[in-house]
Amino acid sequence: MDEDTEDLREQKRKEIENQQENQEEALEEQRKQVQQQAAQYLTKEAKSRLGNIRAADPDKAASVEMQIVQLGKRGQISKINDDQLKDILKSISEEESENESDIKFRR
């Protein structure tokens, strides 16, 4: 009885690990697709800047890429140059700073 229980636990653990691996692979594939789609709308200089941002802050780069893809799908952009990318970054940074709560202590 104990061996059967252990076997079932081991089997269930392996199933869960496989599911997690599959989910991680799917997420990575989705990230790559978004990166490729965003790259279609960027000039060479903007791609370079976004690559630097990705190295420093992958989450911010992902946010920028998602925004670029959404704008592209709506037909609101054709090519984004470096200055336009800076504007997008500025707007995302402003949104993030608005979402952060300020905690102040009075003494």
Ranges of residues in the chain whose predicted pLDDT is under 50: none
pLDDT value of position 31? 92
Residue 61, token pair as written in the block? 């780069």
pTM for the structure as a whole: 0.70
Q: What is the residue type of 2?
A: D
Q: How far is CA 22 from CA 9, 35, 36, 82, 88, in A?
A: 20, 20, 21, 36, 33
CATH of 2-96, one of 1.10.3210.10, 1.10.8.140, 1.10.3720.10, 3.30.390.10: 1.10.8.140
Residue 91, token pair as written in the block? 């707007």
Contacts with 69 (C-beta within 8 Å, 6 or more apart), sequence order: 34, 37, 38, 41
